[in-house]
Amino acid sequence: MNLPDDFVTKYQHLLGTEAPAFLASLTTGTTTAGYRVNPQRQLSAKLTAAPRVPYAPWGYYGTVKGRSLAHQSGAVYSQEPSAMFVGATAAPQPGERVLDLCAAPGGKTTHLASYLQGSGLLVTNEINRKRVRVLAENVERFGTANALILNDSPDTLSPIFPDYFDKVLVDAPCSGEGMFRKDPAAMDYWSLAYVEECAARQREILTEAVKMVKPGGQLIYSTCTFAPEEDEQMMAWVLKTFPEFSLVPVEKSGGVVDARPEWADGNPDLKRAARLFPHLLKGEGHFVAKLQRATTAEAKRVHGQAQLGQALTGAQRKLWQDFAQQVLGTVPAGDLVTIKDQLFLTPAQLPALTGAHVFRPGLHLGTFKKNRFEPAYALALASDPQQVAQTLTIDSEQWQQWVHGDALTLTTAPAKGWYLLTCDQQPVGFGKVVQKTVKNFFPKGLRFTVYPEDLT
């Protein structure tokens, strides 16, 4: 790999005697794969036998195949190990309000969801329309039930959520220097000028992000670049521009080191932020800082209440309640709305979302059809098999048929109706039993073929 000449010269100057090891890690070093397990799921011993990522409670070194049961069911999420440090630094508490402002493809969002344990509110936003679809798919696959997915710019959201969130995560679009080894194509658009362009965009994002942190709340800022202009210098700019914010120490372990004040204005508080260098740990390049807002500020009021859809008709409510009581065993608490014929469980007590582009208003429960209700794939993945009244266990061979879109044939027939299908204790979808056949409702756009090498 040939690094850009300006990049090499820059970091030879900045790192001095450390530069040869740093540059060698990018040109001759190898990438390290990782994955996180979903703490809301029953986990096999195989998944938790891999070496642990020291700073991430649910993180492991290793690979998980995309056509595996663990991946399809949302028991795991593939994530580069250094990227796990971001969510671990945010570490929201159950019940908190959390915003992931630049969220696609969803790795950090699903990590935040693990900390929230299905409680509180997770607003996850992506400005790019194509990327927000990928975000929604990953949020759904991970079984996240308390997420509102938006497709907006930060300056649209800041008037809607003033002083609102306990934690705001800004995983900022950046020059991507930390990904050169993993994604060499990132070097094609890199230049010294591009670094400055990214820094300007980050200042715009942060100007809006700070408005949404409640007094006493925290803003977690991260990049996957080494550039001081986007890292230490960006934090120095925040401290000077928004004096109600201060840096709090980021806990460091596993080769994570202090940020470099000398690469900015020399403010010693900048050492409280963290740098992840590929020559010092098993992972790619990252920068992470945690900013705390003073409690003395007076919080602005949020206005109104969200109107995310239509209220259910009496007939729709009965269809849903009958399904929930018979199949799930309970009727989930929360606010229900319909959008056309789709039923959603929405987060409670949201402010008015006037002007916002709501991509997904909450957990998709299912579809109302003529005189019947069909449960959604998202509801299946958000369900705990141990709590569901009607479950049907299938084996690995049947699971392969299921994800391919085939109906299943049973040797003995349970009672007619909907069942949550499980394999190896993981929820994999809803099926409808008619005599000895399980009709397949696995989403057509997600169907795939499992090959023998996917099972090893």
The two tokens of residue 333 are 């608490």
Which of 115, 112, 110 lies closest to 139 in space, CA to CA?
Answer: 110
Same domain, 149 and 266: yes
Same domain, 153 and 275: yes
> What pLDDT score was predicted for residue 400?
97
How crowded is residue 452: how many other Cβ atoms within 10 Å of its Cβ?
6
| CATH code of residue 453 | 2.30.130.60
The pLDDT-based confidence of 43 (bands split at 50, 70, 90) is confident
- Percentage of the chain beyond pLDDT 90 is 92
Same domain, 90 and 191: yes
> What pLDDT score was predicted for residue 453?
87
Same domain, 430 and 413: yes
Same domain, 117 and 176: yes
For all residues of the chain together, what is the average pLDDT? Answer: 96
Angle at Cα 122 formed by Cα 295 and Cα 364, nearest 5°? 160
Catalytic residue, chosen from 174, 198, 224, 423, is 224
Helical H segments across 182-289, by residue range:
192-209, 232-241
Mean pLDDT of 46-71: 94
> What pLDDT score was predicted for residue 454?
87
Contact present, 359 and 136 (Cβ < 8 Å): yes
Mean pLDDT of 47-70: 95
- Percentage of the chain beyond pLDDT 70 is 100
Same domain, 282 and 422: no
Amino acid at 255: G
Helical H segments across 117-214, by residue range:
129-141, 154-157, 192-209
Which of 384, 396, 394, 392 lies closest to 420 in space, CA to CA?
Answer: 392
How crowded is residue 51: how many other Cβ atoms within 10 Å of its Cβ?
11
Which of 329, 380, 314, 438 lies closest to 141 in space, CA to CA?
Answer: 380
Domain-embedded: residue 111: yes
Which residues fall within 8 angstroms of residue 266, CB to CB, at 6 or more apart?
none
**Distance from the first to the final alpha carbon of the chain:** 32
The pLDDT-based confidence of 44 (bands split at 50, 70, 90) is confident
Does 247 have pLDDT greater than 90?
Answer: yes
Which range marks the domain in which residue 370 is found?
A: 304-379
The residue out of 240, 273, 293 marking a domain boundary is: 293
Which of 279, 270, 229 lies closest to 248 in space, CA to CA?
Answer: 270
Domain-embedded: residue 120: yes
Same domain, 191 and 335: no
Does 302 have pLDDT greater than 90?
Answer: no
Domain-embedded: residue 184: yes
Same domain, 144 and 269: yes
The answer for 446, left when phi > 0, alpha when psi is -120 to 50, beta otherwise, is alpha
**pLDDT tens digits for 438-448?**
999 999 999 99
> What pLDDT score was predicted for residue 428?
97
Pairwise CA distance, residues 76 & 167, whole Å? 24
Which element (helix H / strand E) includes 379?
A: helix 377-381
Same domain, 374 and 406: no
Domain-embedded: residue 48: no
48-52, 165-169, 312-316, 410-414: least confidently modelled range: 410-414
Known binding residues are 102-108, 126, 171
> What pLDDT score was predicted for residue 305?
85
432 by DSSP, 3-state: which?
A: strand
Domain-embedded: residue 159: yes
Rounded to whole angstroms, what are the CA distances from 121 to 36, 196, 277?
21, 34, 33
The two tokens of residue 259 are 């940020």
Mean pLDDT of 154-173: 97
Contact present, 409 and 436 (Cβ < 8 Å): yes
Amino acid at 127: I
Strand bridging mode 417-423 / 391-393 = parallel
Mean pLDDT of 372-379: 98
The pLDDT-based confidence of 344 (bands split at 50, 70, 90) is very high
| CATH code of residue 220 | 3.40.50.150
> What pLDDT score was predicted for residue 315?
96
Mean pLDDT of 329-353: 93
DSSP state at residue 175 = -
Pairwise CA distance, residues 452 & 411, whole Å? 25
> What pLDDT score was predicted for residue 40?
93
The pLDDT-based confidence of 303 (bands split at 50, 70, 90) is confident
Known binding residues for S-adenosyl-L-methionine are 102-108, 126, 171
The two tokens of residue 207 are 């100007």
Domain-embedded: residue 90: yes
Domain-embedded: residue 115: yes
79-88, 202-211, 294-303, 396-405: least confidently modelled range: 294-303
Which of 77, 71, 72, 73 lies closest to 53 in space, CA to CA?
Answer: 77
Does 27 have pLDDT greater than 90?
Answer: yes
Contact present, 197 and 230 (Cβ < 8 Å): no
Same domain, 269 and 313: no
Question: What's the chain's length in residues?
Answer: 456
Which of 36, 237, 52 lies closest to 138 in space, CA to CA?
Answer: 36
The residue out of 268, 293, 318 marking a domain boundary is: 293
Domain-embedded: residue 29: no
Does 361 have pLDDT greater than 80?
Answer: yes
Same domain, 88 and 198: yes
Number of structural domains, the chain?
A: 3
**pLDDT tens digits for 202-221?**
999 999 999 999 999 999 99
> What pLDDT score was predicted for residue 255?
96
The residue out of 357, 379, 401 marking a domain boundary is: 379
Peptide bond into 105 cis (omega under 30): yes
> What pLDDT score was predicted for residue 333?
86
Same domain, 240 and 117: yes
Which element (helix H / strand E) includes 399?
A: helix 396-404
Mean pLDDT of 228-247: 98
Counting DSSP H helices and E strands in the chain, the numbers are: 12, 22
Mean pLDDT of 109-127: 97
Is 198 in the active site? no
> What pLDDT score was predicted for residue 299?
79
